Chain A
Amino acid sequence: MAVVTTERGPPVRTASQAAFFYRPEVRQAIYQIVTVVALVALFYILVTNTAANLRRQNIASGFGFIDRTAGFDVSQHLIAYDNTMTYGRAFLVGLLNTLLVAALGIAFATAVGFLVGISRLSRNWLVARLATVYVEVIRNVPLLLQLFFWYFAVLKSLPVPRQSYALPAGGFLNVRGLYLPAPVPEAGFEMVALAVLIGIVASLVLRVVANRRQMLTGQRLPVLWLSLALIVVVPLGLFIVLGKPLSFDYPELKGFNFQGGMVLQPEFTALLLGLSIYTASFIAEIVRAGIQGVPKGQKEAALAIGLSNGQTLRLVVIPQAMRIIIPPLTSQYLNLIKNSSLAVAIGYPDLVSVWSGTVLNQTGQAVEVILVTMCVFLSISLVTSGFMNWFNKHMALVER
């Protein structure tokens, strides 16, 4: 260390003479260079090792396999698929199945979660207790165990098709799945669909008009009722006038199995049930915390200026609670999407099961397949959180 000793007093270290390595900016530069070198070295070792291993095991690399024939069947496909199609097509089938179960799961989990979360705050002691029990039981048991429970213990021990449980409205439940009547649109049904669409657009316009009117005159239009009439009553009337252009294809027992109708496979049902019920318990806690996070004074003030109970909830409490709820809700949605990959354990043909399972086993190209899987989940996560951030900005109260 460069130290100057003077005749009088303790040793003095001058800035110019201070050791080069003790300057913060020099140190930081060194640390960063070391990090970069270490990372590059690690990456280099991994790549060379992997290349050597792949060569040794005679595994091809690159994405050439995507155009090869898959040769396996997938039990549920939203787009046309059979075993003569390519691995790329199988990938799409798996991806769509993942998106389907994730989207439905998010919808159900949100509905149940909000219901349970609000119930936990109910003034009714029994309802609040039931909601608490639900949350504490469900969120402390692994999701995978719940999926196994629904799939192997519940749905797989249902009776065979001949002894199906008959459900109301022509549905059947048995070990092969849940059979429901399939709606078949007939001529003229597109008119009804169009009417619903027009109704939705009209009620959006109505809302803007009503808001403007309230700003100018202080009078409120019954927006809710008018919208309901536009979206439901008018199309329903049209539906009846047109002679009910919709029939149902009912499932029927023929031989050993049901024909017709539409079927929800037990794998799909179990995954959807498990994901929704599990995630709902977390959403319930988020909703409860959000509502409790709104200061009591806000509600009291709203009641004091003469808003009704419903108005207080709708105009004062919920907008503020949503500000607290949305960020953690987003991460729960992301968790649900990621958790849908557990499908592989119960044989639902999702992305991980079809692509990182069957395709990986058949081609042996682990690096490419797993990288693609990870990229897909990363992009789904980014898109979802992007949308939720936009929604959050929209919901956030404008502050001065």
Chain B
Amino acid sequence: MVAGTDVAASVERPPRSTVGPIGWMRANLFSSWGNALLTVIGLFIAYKAVAGIVSWGIVSATFSGTDGSACTREGAGACWPYVTAKFAQFMYGRFPEPERWRVDLVYVLALAGLVPIMIPRVPGKLWNALYVFGIFPVIAFFLLTGGVLGLAPVDTALWGGLLVTLVVATVGITASFPLGILLALGRRSKMPVVRWVSVGFIEFVRGVPLITVLFMASVMLPLFLPPGVTFDKLLRALIGVALFAAAYLAEVIRGGLQAIPRGQFEAADALGLSYPKKMALIILPQALKLVVPGIVNTFIGLFKDTSLVLIIGLFDLLGIVQLNNADSKWFSPTTAMTGYVFAGLVFWMFCFGMSRYSQMIERRLARGDRR
């Protein structure tokens, strides 16, 4: 095949300027004058941002020290020893030090339930769900509040930091989910009274800021109760957050319910299924699957909104950072900035993680429809 190799040898390769990294750059960065200008501006912004972050967070940052004076100098960057010194506070708040293993244990137990339930391949989802939604909350409740089996009772006023953020978020999510489903079904109900009550609740809560709901829970709830009955402050915030999230969730789920073809409802009726069975076995599994992104978005919003509880005097992660920023021992020009950046990173990891996970689930659920 002498002739063949000759032909192959004479085939010209594409010009170097259209392939490889140079070709890529020409196509994606410098395809026109305007584009090149944009690239230069973009490069400038990117350089400024990266250089600023590296300089503040690493180059001119302080890494060791025992108080704020270590970070007090001209052009000082992040004050990392502040975060290291206060790390336990940021995580547990004023939870008594000898009892902090209980919080850690709750985290471990939570992870033991959540990790397998989040990986689609792991079998035994039913038992897993039973553990996560039935057994774990009870154990976590007694571990955190104490008072049984020789565990010292810990007042919720001592809870703080990431612990409060996670408690408010998880309780809010788990309590708002069934409530949101009920409200969504109520809004779609044929019974006018039920429908109007649901619509009224949903629209009212969605029309007001979370802050007013929290104010209502913290200032007005004690007035609503008979004299002598007092509510835990944390519990009041939880009620407010859960009711708030339920209204938003109800609207998301309603979108899913509306997207289910009528034939599905009629087929379920024709089979003689009762209303609860029709909903639980036929309609909701399909409707919820359709609105997974919306549900996760609501949860991310709820997780970020937990920071608002600091306004009614609870110390969640942001609240405890805010409190410690005012610590005179760690006073320095960059203490506050460092604290906020740390809190921001923690919040960001949780929220970004949730949104990435939901995208993964979305793709997985869509696989069945694609084919």
B-binding residues in A (CB < 8 A): 28, 31-32, 35-36, 39, 46, 49-50, 52-54, 56, 122-127, 130, 136-137, 139-146, 148-149, 152-154, 156-157, 338-339, 341-342, 344-345, 352, 356, 360, 366-367, 370, 373-374, 377-378, 381-382
Contact = CB atoms under 8 A, between A and B. Distances in A.
B42 A149 contact: no
Interface string B332-354: 01001100100110011001100
A124 B28 contact: yes
A377 B208 CA distance: 6
10 smallest A-B Cβ distances: which pairs? A140-B351, A338-B209, A32-B193, A142-B304, A125-B28, A153-B337, A341-B209, A126-B42, A378-B207, A142-B307
B219 A144 contact: no
A320 B336 CA distance: 46
B61 to A, nearest CB: 15
B296 interface: no
Given A31-B194, A140-B351, A141-B344, A374 B46 contact: no
Interface stretch (B105-113, B119-127, B224-232, B277-285): B224-232
B311 interface: yes
A56 B226 CA distance: 11
A352 B308 CA distance: 14
A377 B212 contact: yes
A342 B211 contact: yes
B212 A352 contact: yes
Given A122-B38, A130-B45, A144-B310, 16 more contacts: A32-B192, A35-B193, A50-B223, A124-B38, A124-B39, A127-B38, A144-B318, A145-B340, A148-B322, A148-B340, A149-B344, A152-B340, A341-B209, A341-B211, A366-B219, A381-B206
A338 B28 contact: no
Interface in B27-80: 28-29, 31, 35, 38-39, 42-43, 45-46
Nearest to B190: A28
Do most interface residues of chain A lie in helix, strand or loop, or is the interface mixed?
A: helix
Which interface class (under 10, 10 to 19, 20 to 34, 35 or more) fits B?
Answer: 35 or more
A378 B318 contact: no
Interface in B199-227: 204, 206-212, 215-216, 219-220, 222-227
Contact of A123 (B28, B337, B352): B28
22 contacts: A32-B192, A35-B193, A49-B223, A49-B226, A53-B222, A123-B31, A126-B46, A127-B39, A141-B344, A142-B304, A144-B310, A145-B347, A149-B344, A153-B337, A157-B336, A338-B210, A373-B208, A374-B208, A378-B204, A378-B208, A381-B208, A382-B207
B259 interface: no
B42 A140 contact: no
Indicate the member of B207, B225, B355 with the most A CB atoms within 10 Å.
B207
Contacts of A342: 209, 211, 308
B191 interface: yes
B314 interface: no
A178 B207 CA distance: 33
Nearest to B319: A144
B325 interface: yes
A151 B348 CA distance: 20
Given A149-B344, A152-B336, A377-B209, A130 B46 contact: yes
B305 interface: yes
A124 B226 contact: no
A359 B193 CA distance: 37
Given A145-B318, A339-B209, A367-B220, A49 B28 contact: no
Given A366-B220, A370-B219, A145 B208 contact: no
A141 B31 CA distance: 35
Contact of A141 (B39, B215, B333, B348): B348
B227 A344 contact: no
A29 to B, nearest CB: 9
Contacts of B311: 344-345
A116 B29 CA distance: 18
B300 interface: yes
B197 interface: yes
A136 B344 CA distance: 13
Contacts of A32: 191-194
Contacts of A356: 212, 215
A126 B193 contact: no
